Structure 1
């Protein structure tokens, strides 16, 4: 008996994230002081060396075209708020509460975050570079054009998330949960990936041959295969 295989279609090349925002354009901004910050002047303003026990951004508030350099917070709450075309350099925040927040064209560099609760949100055009991230909760969040470059991530939860053109170049991921996720052009080849939870949710992701070998046992178990010598 012969088995006919389906004719292969034209191979689809994994599409990288695409970014329109250039943080170098954030020049000539008004210099913000403590008074401007307290007055929530969050448009076309540059803030430097902010150290606060807590920063609560009101629901519906928009941070637009701002640059924050050396931001130290005990906690940061921005539930239901928006951050647009802004940059963060050298942020250190143990706790971030960002459920249902919208981030568009945001550049984050050389920063450290403990837990990030950002479920039910929308991220578009977001770049993390040389950042240290603890637990990142992106459950049911929509991600489009997101990059983690040279980052260390303890755990990232994409349960029921929708992700398109997301990459992890040069990053280390302790655990990745993709249960129920919808992935398109999610590129894991550049990541040192330690553990995957919800293996069926990896459909639509791109992995390297080495990663495939590491996942072979879990994939065989998922397919109901018994591997014996």
Structure 2
């Protein structure tokens, strides 16, 4: 798992560097609800409209795997590694992610309301219209990612950082933040939830960019003579 070192982060691991790499067995089949998937390698497969609610994925790796639609409600992903994975329109409501590393992957139109993410790192990923409403994120890092139309409304973010990431039309309405570091974000485009930033750290330049909206929220009229 990449470690946070001040404002720098370790490079993502290769598949061979995983502690369980030598024990991985190729997976060939379909996913089922309540299934146990332990120490498996998912490689190059496409899963369409799979019903894998409450499934458990432990010490497994995913390479060039595509999930189109499908129901993964309350599924658990523990100590997993994903590289060039794609999630399109999948339902991951109340799923749990712990000690996960997600690299050069993409998610579009994916639902993750009420999800729990603990010690998860996204490297160079693209998240488009992902729903994290009421989710809980702890020690989650988005490294050089693009977050477009991502919805964190009502979510709880603790120890979350966005180094080198671009935020475009991101929603933080009624979100709760603690130890959230936005200073490394290359852009900070928010649709709403400016008041939720009270638990975040931003840079002086970002403050200047956000100042007009902060003034609007406070009811301050700014006029030049």
| TM-score bucket of the superposed structures, by smaller chain | 0.7 to 0.9
Equivalenced residues, count? 213
How far apart in 2 are the matches of 1:108 and 1:86? Answer: 8
How far apart in 2 are the matches of 1:112 and 1:150? Answer: 13
Query: Is 2:177 the counterpart of 1:197?
Result: no
How far apart in 2 are the matches of 1:212 and 1:27? Answer: 45
Counterparts of 1:1-229 in structure 2, within 5 Å, are 24-35=18-29, 40=35, 42-59=37-54, 61-191=55-185, 192-229=187-224
Task: Report the CA distance between 1:17 and its aligned residue.
Answer: 11
How far apart in 1 are the matches of 2:48 and 2:110? Answer: 17
Structure having the higher Rg: 1
How far apart in 1 are the matches of 2:147 and 2:48? Answer: 24
TM-score, length basis structure 2: 0.86
Q: Does the CA contact (< 8 Å) of 1:178 and 1:201 recur in 2? A: yes
Q: Does the CA contact (< 8 Å) of 2:106 and 2:125 recur in 1? A: yes
How far apart in 2 are the matches of 1:155 and 1:135? Answer: 5
- Greater percentage in strand: 1
How far apart in 2 are the matches of 1:164 and 1:17? Answer: 18
Q: Which ranges of structure 2 fall in alignment gaps of 5 or more residues?
A: 1-5
SS in structure 1 of the partner of residue 134 of structure 2: coil
Q: Does the CA contact (< 8 Å) of 1:17 and 1:147 recur in 2? A: no
Q: C-alpha root-mean-square deviation of aligned residues, in Å?
A: 2.5
Task: Report the CA distance between 1:96 and its aligned residue.
Answer: 2.1
Higher relative contact order, structure no. (Cα contacts within 8 Å, ≥ 6 residues apart): 1
- Deviations 1:168-209 (Å, cap 9, x if unpaired)? 111111122111111001111111112241211111111111
Q: Does the CA contact (< 8 Å) of 1:26 and 1:67 recur in 2? A: no
SS in structure 2 of the partner of residue 169 of structure 1: coil
How far apart in 2 are the matches of 1:16 and 1:160? Answer: 27
How far apart in 1 are the matches of 2:49 and 2:7? Answer: 36
TM-score, length basis structure 1: 0.84
